[in-house]
Chains A and B, each alone.
Chain A
Amino acid sequence: MGRALTGVPPKLMLRLYVAGTAPNSVQAIANAKAICDEHFALAYELEIVDLISHPHRALADGVIVTPTLIKLQPPPVDRVIGNLSDAGSVLLVLAGV
Chain B
Amino acid sequence: MTATATLDARTLARRLAEAEATIQALLAGQIDAVVDSATRTPLLLSKAQQALRDERDRAQRYLDTPDVILLALDLEGRITLVNRYACVVLGWSHAQLLGRDWFDACLPAEQRAERKDAFHSILSGDLAAVDTVVRTKNGDERLIGWRHTLLRDEAGRVTGTFSAGADITDRARTAEALRIAEEHVQQGEKMEAIGRLAGGVAHDFNNLLTVILGNCELLQLDISPADPRHATLGEVAKAALSAVGLTRQLLAFSRKEIIEPGVFDLNEIVRDMRPMLERLIREDVSVILNLSPDDACVMVDRGQMEQILLNLAVNARDAMPKGGTLTIETSNTELDATNASRIGAKAPGVHVVLKVSDTGNGMTADVQSHLFEPFFTTKDVGQGTGLGLATVDGIVSRSGATISVQSAPGRGTSFTVHFPKVTRQGGPRTVTPSSTAVVGVHAETVLVVEDAAGLRDMTKRLLNRLGYTALIAANADEAMQSFERGTRIDILLTDVVMPGASGPELVTRLIETHPALKVVYMSGHMENDESIVHDGVLNPGIAFLRKPFSSEALGRKLREVLDRVG
> Which residues of chain A have a CB within 8 Å of any CB of chain B?
18-20, 22-25, 51-52, 55-56, 58-59, 63-67, 79-83, 85
- Is B35 part of the contact surface with A, judged by Cβ < 8 Å? yes
What are 23 A-B pairs with beta-carbon distances under 8 A?
A19-B32, A19-B33, A22-B32, A22-B45, A24-B31, A25-B33, A51-B35, A51-B41, A52-B44, A55-B40, A55-B42, A58-B40, A59-B40, A64-B37, A65-B22, A65-B25, A65-B26, A65-B34, A66-B35, A67-B30, A80-B21, A81-B24, A85-B30
Q: Is the CB of B40 within 8 A of A64?
A: no
B20-63 contacts to A, CB under 8 A, are 21-22, 24-26, 28-35, 37, 39-42, 44-46, 49
Q: Is the CB of A64 within 8 A of B21?
A: no
Instruction: Say whether chain A's binding surface is mostly helix, strand, loop, or mixed.
Output: loop
B284-304 contacts to A, CB under 8 A, are none
CB neighbours of B35 from chain A (8 A)? 51, 55, 58, 63-66
For B, the interface residue count at a CB cutoff of 8 angstroms equals 23
- Is B18 part of the contact surface with A, judged by Cβ < 8 Å? yes
Complex-state Cα separation, A66 to B22, whole angstroms: 9
Q: Which of A20, A52, A65 has the most CB of B within 10 A?
A: A65
Complex-state Cα separation, A58 to B261, whole angstroms: 106
Q: Is the CB of B49 within 8 A of A23?
A: yes
Residue of B with least CB distance to A63: B35
Residue of A with least CB distance to B34: A65
CB neighbours of B37 from chain A (8 A)? 64
Complex-state Cα separation, A64 to B49, whole angstroms: 18
Q: Is the CB of B18 within 8 A of A81?
A: yes
Closest CB in chain B relative to A78 CB, distance in Å: 8
Closest CB in chain A relative to B351 CB, distance in Å: 75
Residue of B with least CB distance to A26: B32
Complex-state Cα separation, A52 to B18, whole angstroms: 22
Q: Is the CB of B30 within 8 A of A82?
A: yes
Known: A64-B34, A66-B31, A67-B32. A82 touches B42 (CB 8 A): no
Q: Is the CB of B28 within 8 A of A22?
A: no
CB neighbours of A56 from chain B (8 A)? 40
Known: A55-B42, A58-B40, A79-B18. A22 touches B25 (CB 8 A): no
Per a CB cutoff under 8 Å, which of A22, A59, A82 touches B33? Answer: A22
Residue of B with least CB distance to A52: B42
Residue of A with least CB distance to B39: A55
Q: Which of B22, B26, B34, B42 has the most CB of A within 10 A?
A: B42
Closest CB in chain A relative to B40 CB, distance in Å: 6
CB neighbours of A63 from chain B (8 A)? 35
